[in-house]
């Protein structure tokens, strides 16, 4: 029987199953193969908060969303085209994301009475048997049974056999999307090099899934997503936390400083610690501290000693670090603070994304304690943005807060990576006795025209001095309770941060004209959804543009000039309205808020619909 191949521009597959079903791995393997086919890619995992939530329940469903395309894409996408549901709970948790007419690949073994009961389907009624899925195309595969049959002679136990079942689904999907198995086979061979029976079993099941699609007469159509017209060059796939980690190593080397990373484990920031700990051969010092406060204080100690101290956490941990960050403001030494934001307040939604710590970053300390705040907008952008954060911190002797979030941190995309030599050097403002002494005395708080003081580290002869959290004399740095001096110092610390605006790029328009009906302006991880929505509207002839703010404090000098040429300014945020407060307070402008606070990123459609409503 002839099988036809249909071309598609982009496809979104959501792999969903129990957290033990291997869905993250299955998704990653499909991603890697798609990358080799030259597709543009964006992925996003969706984990349950519990490591092993009860089997078969909706709470225990782990998902991996993959968007791959022959055009350039910026988000993991809105409408799922294929939902892989390893059990009833996986279907129940994710059906709302599947577009009308989309395909469900259901593992029928996961829809037995027990699974239906655990997933809380009324009367244990299977959705595969009633008419509730009529709007979709359902492919029923008894994955468990077919995996067992494929491995009947393997000599493996039931448990080991069942662990291979994700490979069956993967094999079937490779057939469906016209991919070869080669890349995945190589992966399996490397991963299980020391366990030949497991290796052979996985490959056999992978092939069985593929052949099932190929030979079964029910499936007549395959799909093809051609390679995207990405700029020429060499690519790798990168996740946000990984990009942040390697960016830190690069930044430290570019500054010729040791990297000291003090951190306490917290979701979703811990992967940065894991990644850095793997790279000790780059001289990285990772320090898993006893708590969040120790982590930041140890990093301040390292910076005082002349290393670049970096600490990372998520919102609750940043709250604990607040006092010490204030100390770093007072000491005027380099310190990079990473906040991989999650849903708050309090413990909030640990595994879900949110942008709700912007106000905390700007204001979350006692006293007048300005910080530089900077935010990456995509997984690969983390690399450049953390280098920029480190550069500002070192060159301006100021703590910098870097605001990533769960969506960027765990998302991945192809990255046309740079060569190390193309990344600019970072120049620490070190003191030395020859140039820094004034009539034989050292004034640690003397400043240059940028208001930056010199960095005198222990070991430098004749520059011994004392610093601390008490107010400093403007020049000598000695403790001072003088009223006029305090006012002067508060203003100097503020002015020093404000002047950094002279050393950052001007705000640019990301796409669209520099004037028009609406400007969509956001920060952080809303970038991709805004980008897609605005692109579609521009193509449809609307006067809509997009700008995206990386530098949140200080703002680029021309920010108002960019915004004022539009009739309306829309600010989408995954919070209850934080950037908009800063902008409306600072500029003569009434920007329009657009907020989503569900622990989930915006879809591009949501932004597009909001824009259409404002345009009408």
Partner 1 sequence: MTKTNDIQVNLTAKDLATDQDVRWCPGCGDYSILKQLQSTLAEANISKEDTVFVSGIGCSSRFPYYMDTYGIHSIHGRATALASGLKASRPDLSVWIITGDGDSLSIGGNHLIHLLRRNFDVNILMFNNEIYGLTKGQYSPTSPKGQTTKSSPMGSLDHPFNPAALVLGASATFVARSMDRDPKHMREILKAADSHKGTSFIEIYQNCNVFNDGAFEVFTDKGTKADNVILLEEGQPLIFGADSDKGIRFEGMKPVIVSLSDVSKDDLWIHDSKDETKAYFLSKMFDEPGSEGAMPRPFGVFYQEDRFRYEEAMNEQIDRAISLKGKGDLDKLIRGSSTWKV
User: What residues between 357 and 416 interact with partner 1 by CB under 8 A?
Assistant: 383, 416
DSSP H or E run through 120? none
**Is residue 316 a contact residue for partner 1 (CB under 8 A)?**
no
Give the phi and the psi of residue 319 in degrees, each rounded to 5: -60, -40
Nearest distance from residue 13's CB to partner 1, in Å? Answer: 20
Candidates 106-114, 158-166, 236-244, 546-554; binding stretch for partner 1 (CB under 8 A): 236-244
Using the rule CB under 8 A, give the single segment among 106-114, 115-123, 291-299, 486-494 that binds partner 1: 291-299
Q: Which is nearer to partner 1, 68 or 523 (CB)?
A: 68
Instruction: Please state at what angle helix 165-176 crosses helix 196-215, rounded to 10 degrees.
Output: 40
Phi first, then psi, for residue 42 (nearest 5°) are -145, 130
What order of strands is seen across the sheet that includes strand 335-341?
285-288, 259-263, 308-313, 335-341, 399-405, 372-374, 551-553
Residue 224 vs 536, nearer CB to partner 1: 224
In this chain, which of 85, 294, 451, 582 binds partner 1, going by CB under 8 A? 294
Measured between alpha carbons, how far apart are the two ends of the chain, in Å?
A: 51
Question: Pattern 239-258, binding to partner 1, x per CB under 8 A?
Answer: -------x--xx--x--xxx
Binding to partner 1 by residue 298, rule CB under 8 A? yes
Shortest reach from residue 195's CB to partner 1, in Å: 21
From CA 568, how far away is CA 182, in angstroms rounded?
Answer: 51
Within 210-229, the residues that bind partner 1 by CB under 8 A are 227
3-class DSSP assignment, residue 21:
coil
343 touches partner 1 (CB under 8 A): no
Chain positions 126 to 155 lying near partner 1, rule: CB under 8 A, are none
Query: What is the contact mask toward partner 1 in residues 441 to 460, using x (rule: CB under 8 A)?
Result: ----------------xxxx
Least Å from the CB of residue 281 to partner 1 = 4
Stretch near partner 1 under the rule CB under 8 A, chosen from 22-30, 168-176, 284-292, 494-502: 284-292
Q: Smallest distance, Å, CB 305 to partner 1?
A: 4
Taking the least distance from each CB to partner 1, the nearer of 161 and 300 is 300
Q: What are phi and psi of 415, to 5 degrees?
A: -135, 120
CB of 70 to partner 1, least distance (A): 12
Part in contact with partner 1 (CB under 8 A); list of ranges 2-10, 82-90, 319-327, 494-502: 319-327
Residue 8 interacts with partner 1 (CB under 8 A): yes or no: no
Run of H or E including 519: strand 516-523
Q: Any idea of the CA torsion for 21, 23, 24, 26, to the nearest 10 degrees?
A: 120
Residue (of 238, 428, 240, 417) closest to 339 by Cα position: 240
Minimal distance, residue 72 CB to partner 1, in Å: 12
> Does residue 467 bind partner 1 (CB under 8 A)?
yes
Task: Specify the length of the chain in residues.
Answer: 616
Spell out, one character per residue from 414 to 443, where the chain touches partner 1: x when CB under 8 A holds, - when not.
--xxxxx---------x-------------
Comparing CB distances to partner 1, the nearer of 302 and 389 is: 302
Residue that the structure tokens 């699974």 belong to:
115
Comparison of 235 and 594: residue with beta carbon closer to partner 1: 235
Binding to partner 1 in span 257-276, by CB under 8 A: 257-258, 260, 262
- Residue from the set 238, 329, 397, 559 that interacts with partner 1 by CB under 8 A: 238
Cα separation of 356 and 342, whole Å? 8
Helix H segments across 381-462? 381-396, 406-410, 433-436
Confirm or reject binding of residue 281 to partner 1 (CB under 8 A): yes
Give the interface segment with partner 1, choosing from 285-293, 398-406, 503-511, 513-521 (CB under 8 A). 285-293
Of the candidate spans 369-377, 385-393, 462-470, 562-570, the one that interacts with partner 1 by CB under 8 A turns out to be 462-470
* Chain centroid, CA 404 distance in Å: 6
Alpha-carbon distance values, 76 to 31, 350, 410, 603, 607 (Å): 12, 20, 12, 9, 15
How many residues touch partner 1 under the rule CB under 8 A: the total is 74
Q: Which stretch binds partner 1 (CB under 8 A): 32-40, 339-347, 539-547, 602-610?
A: 32-40
Residue among 36 and 452 whose Cβ is closer to partner 1: 36
> Which of 8, 20, 32, 224 lies at the binding interface for partner 1 (CB under 8 A)?
32
DSSP assigned state of 203: H
* Pairwise CA distance, residues 293 & 320, whole Å: 6
Q: Is the dihedral of CA 70, 74, 78, 84 positive or negative?
A: positive
Q: Which is nearer to partner 1, 112 or 258 (CB)?
A: 258
Rounded CA-CA distance 141/128 in Å is: 11
Q: How far apart are CA 521 and CA 540, in angstroms?
A: 20
Nearer Cβ to partner 1 (107/385): 385
The footprint of partner 1 on residues 70-129 (CB under 8 A) is: none
Give the separation between CA 324 and CA 392, rounded to whole angstroms. 19
Written as one string, the DSSP assignment of 330-396 is: HHT--EEEEEEE-B-STT-BTTS---TTHHHHHH-SSSS---EEE---STTHHHHHHHHHHHHHHHH
Q: How far apart are CA 325 and CA 336, in angstroms?
A: 10
Neighbours of 220 (CB within 10 A): 10
Residues between 539 and 578 with contacts to partner 1, criterion CB under 8 A: none
Residue 235 CB, nearest distance to partner 1 (Å)? 6
Query: Which residues sit opposite 309 in a β-bridge?
Result: 260
Task: Give the CA count within 13 Å in the CB-facing half-sphere of 276.
Answer: 28
Query: Closest approach of Cβ 345 to partner 1, in Å?
Result: 24
Out of 104, 300, 500, 583, point to the residue binding partner 1 (CB under 8 A): 300
- State in angstroms the smallest separation of the CB of 384 from partner 1: 11
CA–CA dist 71, 234 (Å, integer): 18
Interface with partner 1, residue 232, by CB under 8 A: yes
User: Rounded to the nearest whole angstrom, what is the least distance from the CB of residue 395 to partner 1 in the complex?
Assistant: 16
- Taking the least distance from each CB to partner 1, the nearer of 322 and 577 is 322
Which residues, in sequence order, are bridge partners of residue 85?
Answer: 16, 106
Smallest separation (angstroms) from partner 1 to the CB of 233:
6
Identify which of residues 250 and 533 has a Cβ nearer to partner 1 in the complex: 250
Distance in angstroms (rounded) separating the CA atoms of residues 259 and 305: 11
Candidates 127-135, 385-393, 463-471, 595-603: pick the segment binding partner 1 (CB under 8 A).
Answer: 463-471
């Amino acid at each position: 029987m002839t099988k036809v191949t249909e071309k598609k521009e982009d496809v979104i597959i959501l792999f969903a199953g129990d957290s033990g079903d291997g869905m993250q791995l299955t998704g990653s393997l499909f991603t890697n193969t798609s990358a080799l086919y030259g597709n543009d890619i964006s992925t996003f995992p969706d984990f349950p908060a519990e490591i092993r939530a009860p089997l078969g329940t909706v709470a225990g469903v782990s998902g991996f969303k993959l968007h791959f395309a022959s055009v350039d894409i910026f988000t993991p996408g809105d409408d799922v085209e294929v939902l892989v549901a390893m059990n009833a709970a996986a279907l129940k948790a994710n059906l709302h994301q599947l577009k009308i007419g989309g395909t469900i690949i259901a593992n029928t073994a996961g829809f037995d009475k027990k699974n239906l009961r655990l997933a809380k389907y009324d009367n244990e009624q299977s959705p595969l048997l009633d008419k509730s899925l009529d709007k979709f195309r359902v492919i029923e595969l008894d994955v468990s049974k077919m995996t067992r049959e494929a491995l009947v002679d393997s000599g493996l136990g039931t448990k080991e056999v069942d662990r291979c079942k994700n490979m069956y689904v993967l094999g079937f999907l490779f057939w469906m999307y016209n991919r070869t198995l080669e890349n995945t086979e190589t992966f399996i061979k490397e991963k299980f090099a020391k366990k030949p029976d497991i290796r052979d079993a996985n490959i056999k099941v992978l092939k069985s899934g593929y052949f099932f699609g190929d030979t079964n007469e029910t499936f007549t159509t395959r799909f093809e997503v051609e390679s995207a017209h990405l700029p020429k060059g060499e690519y790798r796939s990168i996740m946000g936390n990984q990009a942040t980690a390697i960016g830190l190593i690069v930044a430290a080397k570019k500054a010729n400083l040791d990297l000291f990373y003090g951190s306490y484990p917290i979701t979703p920031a811990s992967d940065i610690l894991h990644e850095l700990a793997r790279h000790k051969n780059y001289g990285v010092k990772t320090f898993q501290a006893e708590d969040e406060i120790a982590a930041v204080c140890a990093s301040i100690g390292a910076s005082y000693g002349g290393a670049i101290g970096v600490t990372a956490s998520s919102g609750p941990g940043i709250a604990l670090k607040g006092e010490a960050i204030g100390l770093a403001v007072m000491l005027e030494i380099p310190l990079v603070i990473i906040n991989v934001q999650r849903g708050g307040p309090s413990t909030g939604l640990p595994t879900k994304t949110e942008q709700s710590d912007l106000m905390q970053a700007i204001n979350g300390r006692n006293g007048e304690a300005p910080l530089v705040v900077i935010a990456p907008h995509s997984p690969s952008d983390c690399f450049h943005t953390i280098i920029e954060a480190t550069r500002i911190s070192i060159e301006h002797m100021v703590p910098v807060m870097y605001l990533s979030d769960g969506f960027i941190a765990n998302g991945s995309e192809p990255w046309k990576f740079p060569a190390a030599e193309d990344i600019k050097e970072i120049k620490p403002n070190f003191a030395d006795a020859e140039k820094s002494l004034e009539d034989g005395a050292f004034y640690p708080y003397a400043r240059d025209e940028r208001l930056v003081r010199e960095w005198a580290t222990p070991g430098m002869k004749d520059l011994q001095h004392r610093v601390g959290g008490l107010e400093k004399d403007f020049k000598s740095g000695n403790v001072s309770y003088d009223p006029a001096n305090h006012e002067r110092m508060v203003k100097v610390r503020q002015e020093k941060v404000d002047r950094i605006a002279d050393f950052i790029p001007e705000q640019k328009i990301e796409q669209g004209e520099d004037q028009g009906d609406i400007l969509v302006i956001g920060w952080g991880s809303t970038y991709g959804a805004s980008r897609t929505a605005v692109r579609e509207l521009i193509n449809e002839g609307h006067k809509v543009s997009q700008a995206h703010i990386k530098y949140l404090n200080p703002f680029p000098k021309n920010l108002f000039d960019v915004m004022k040429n539009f009739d309306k300014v829309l600010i989408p945020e995954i919070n209850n309205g934080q950037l908009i407060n800063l902008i409306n307070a600072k500029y003569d402008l009434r920007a329009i808020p657009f907020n989503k606070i569900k622990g989930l990123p915006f879809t591009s459609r949501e932004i597009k619909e909001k824009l259409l409503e404002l345009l009408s």
